[in-house]
Each structure stands twice: as structure tokens, then as C-alpha cells.
Amino acid sequence: MKKNLTIIILILISFYGYSQDSIILKPKREKNAGKDIFILDLYSDLWQNVPKNVDVRAINQGVNIYAMLNLPITNSNFSLAAGLGVSSHNFYSDATPKLEESVTSFIKLLDFYQKKVDYSINKINITYIDIPVEIKFKTRAERSKRFKASIGCKIGYNISNHTKYRGEDVIEKTTDIITLKKSNIKNINNWNYGITARIGYGMYNLMAYYSMSKLFEKSKGPQIFPISIGVSITPF
């Protein structure tokens, strides 16, 4: 996972350098317009269609990091933006995925270990490399006083997925606190896509994402999907 993130960060840095040097993709802008080159989203996933036997944590924190290019539409307040980035979603619950006859389902830790276990973390993490596209509206004010809104979509490809458990030692039955990770969960959907929206003032925005794809492949796992709600920061 760390190796994947390092590669993606290097890609984003290269992408930013290209946007600075390119003549074609660098149209003239008004003074202090701001380019929103980098976007940081901090959000919580509200998971939908969760099986009734699974209890999900209220806060399922996630993060998006994007590098974007803004292309103004003539002399209007609108622009078209496209970019490249990475997103990370988390599903915290009291259950773990289990493969049975080629179908993935959730089983509670209580049933999986045949006893109640004490733990601090039990989650599924899914990371995607994304291509976002947005139509943006910005007022012609100083960057710190500008109203902004956008709507768009993104498509992502799964580059990493794993479960993570941190809690009492369920393997050797000691008093130690252990961490267990299992990569490559079966039947995870390789693709993630949906609708994005932002609205805000200055460098801060409210953001939302509605996933139109499901976490697991059709007929091979629970058809859960996230609605992400959070804040968006554009520091540059």
C-alpha cells in the first residue's frame, strides 16, 4: 500500500509540473484567480445496502487527493476541469468478509471467532486511482472571497484492498494486542464510478460523492456502496 501511494504521489507531482509548463493547457487568467491545482477531500462514507446482520460505525473516514487542470470556457465564470488522483474509502464494522461457494458475505466477529472479542479497529480499506472531471463555476473575486460550485463525475480503478483487525490476540490466545491484515478480498469490484459535487467559499468547500457502482461484483457479494460527505480544501 505504501509503495502504491508513493508511486501515485510521484505521478501527481509530474502532473503538476506538466500543467505549469504546458502552453496549450495554460490559458490566461485574471489576477489572483487561483487554479485549484490540488484538491484535498476529507469525508465520511455513509454505506448503503448494508446487510442487516452487520453494524457499521457512524464515521467511516476517507480521503481524496487530486491534481486538476482548469480550462476556462471562453470569458465566462465557468471552466472544465480534469485530473488524476487517489481515493481511499473505509468500511468499519463488527463483521469480516468470508468466501463461501465463490460468493463473499459478511460474518460477525462474534460468530467467526465463536466468542466476543475486544478490538479497536475492524475495517475494510479500498484504494482507487481516479480520473475526475468537473464543470466549475467561480465568481470573479479575490481568491479568499470567491464563491465556487462544481458538479462532475469520476471513475476509479482499484489498486489496493484489505481488511485490518487490531485487538485482542485471537490467534495464539495471549494477552497481546495484535494487528491482522488480509489483502485482495475476493469479488471486490475493480471499478468505482459516480457523481461528485462541491460548493464553497474561498479555499474551503463542502463536497459530496454518490457512488453508482457497488463494492462487490454483482451476485458475488453484498451490493453495498458509499455516499461520501465531507469538506474539500484547495490550498493553491
Residue from 138, 156, 163 nearest 64 by CA: 156
Q: CA angle 147-153-154, nearest 5°?
A: 120
The per-residue pLDDT of the chain, averaged, comes to: 88
User: Tens of pLDDT along 89-120?
Assistant: 999 999 999 999 999 999 999 999 999 999 99
The pLDDT score that the predictor gives to residue 75 is 85
The whole-number average pLDDT for the span 133-137 is: 95
Examine the pLDDT at 230 and tell me if it is beyond 70: yes
pLDDT band with cut points at 50, 70 and 90 for residue 36: low
Residue from 62, 68, 84 nearest 230 by CA: 62
Higher pLDDT, 44 or 2: 44
Q: Could you tell me how far CA 81 lies from the centroid of its own chain?
A: 18
The whole-number average pLDDT for the span 198-213 is: 96
The pLDDT score that the predictor gives to residue 15 is 45
Residue from 150, 144, 149 nearest 202 by CA: 144
The pLDDT score that the predictor gives to residue 47 is 98
Percent of the chain with pLDDT strictly greater than 90: 75
pTM of the model: 0.83
Examine the pLDDT at 206 and tell me if it is beyond 90: yes
State the first-to-last Cα distance of the chain, in angstroms, to the nearest integer. 27
Percent of the chain with pLDDT strictly greater than 70: 84
CB count, 10 Å around CB of 17? 11
Examine the pLDDT at 5 and tell me if it is beyond 60: no
Cβ contacts of residue 90 below 8 Å, gap of 6+? Answer: 45, 60, 61, 62, 123, 124, 125, 126
CA distances from 8 to 25, 28, 103, 208 (A): 22, 29, 32, 23
Residue 57 φ then ψ, to 5°: -65, 150
The whole-number average pLDDT for the span 39-65 is: 97
d(CA 65, CA 85): 5
d(CA 82, CA 69): 6
The whole-number average pLDDT for the span 72-96 is: 94
Place of cell 487561483: 34
Q: Could you tell me how far CA 12 lies from the centroid of its own chain?
A: 16
The pLDDT score that the predictor gives to residue 85 is 97
- Counting Cα atoms < 13 Å in the Cβ hemisphere of 35 gives 18
d(CA 90, CA 215): 11
Examine the pLDDT at 33 and tell me if it is beyond 60: no
Lowest mean pLDDT of 29-43, 146-160, 185-199, name the range. 29-43
- Counting Cα atoms < 13 Å in the Cβ hemisphere of 115 gives 8
C-alpha cell at 197: 459535487
pLDDT band with cut points at 50, 70 and 90 for residue 74: confident
User: Tens of pLDDT along 6-27?
Assistant: 544 554 455 444 444 443 344 4
